[in-house]
Amino acid sequence: MPTATMTSKGQITVPKEVRDDLHLEAGSKVMFVRLSDGQYRIVARTGSIMDLAGLLYRPDRAPVMIDQMNEDIAAAAAEHVMRGLER
């Protein structure tokens, strides 16, 4: 299993095997995606948006319908605005 060591400046060198698997080259970007269990997944930004499919899937949770998502987003936005007005 490839490993890397962080320097005192917070930098790591991505092992060659991982760079090859993720098709990374100089200048490539990677995202560190926090999963619900607190772990992180490293995702190469060189891929397609479809590479993210299933990333947030949790088998123990029922799917959320788009209407419910829209309602939750609207409620959170309204709450955010109200907090701003209270200041």
Convert the pLDDT of each residue in 18-70 to its tens digit. 999 988 989 899 989 888 888 999 888 876 778 778 877 888 888 889 999 99
Could you tell me if 5 and 12 are in contact, meaning their C-beta atoms sit under 8 angstroms apart? Answer: yes
What confidence score (pLDDT) does residue 87 get? 61
Q: How far apart are CA 57 and CA 40, in angstroms?
A: 14
Residue 19: name the closest of 46, 41, 51 by CA.
Answer: 46
What confidence score (pLDDT) does residue 66 get? 93
Tokens for 14?
Answer: 């991505």
Could you tell me if 31 and 45 are in contact, meaning their C-beta atoms sit under 8 angstroms apart? Answer: yes
